[in-house]
Amino acid sequence: MPLPMTPFDRITKKIGIRRVSREALEEMREIIEEYIESIAEQSVRLARHSNRKTVLKQDIEFVTGRREESK
């Protein structure tokens, strides 16, 4: 099931794009869906490697390179 188009339209408006074609929004949606799927697959592999059934926030951060620094 594809993601809805409305959030992508909202994002483009928020960053100042006044007009965007439906085809451009569909392409953006497709790229984002592929990226999310890749992150999910890698996170599941990482959790399984750690002998866990649950994907944790730290798995997502590790896969995306967005590790929070210790405070």
Q: Where are the domains of the chain?
A: 6-64
Please give the single-letter amino acid code of residue 30: E
For the cut 80, the answer to whether the pLDDT of residue 68 exceeds it is no
**Of 26-35, 46-55, 58-67, minimum mean pLDDT range:** 58-67
Count Cβ atoms below 10 Å from residue 59 Cβ, excluding itself.
Answer: 21
Tell me the CATH class for 6-64. Answer: mainly alpha
For the chain, the farthest-separated pair of C-alpha atoms sits apart, in whole angstroms, at 48
How far from 28 is each of 5, 19, 62, 66, 68, CA to CA, in Å? 9, 14, 24, 22, 27
Range in 5-19, 41-55, 57-71 the model is least confident about: 57-71
| Average pLDDT estimate for 8-31 | 93
Distance between CA atoms of residues 35 and 21, nearest Å:
21
Please check the confidence at residue 71 and state whether its pLDDT lies above 80: no
| Higher local confidence (pLDDT), 51 or 70 | 51
Kindly tell me if the per-residue pLDDT of 69 is higher than 80: no
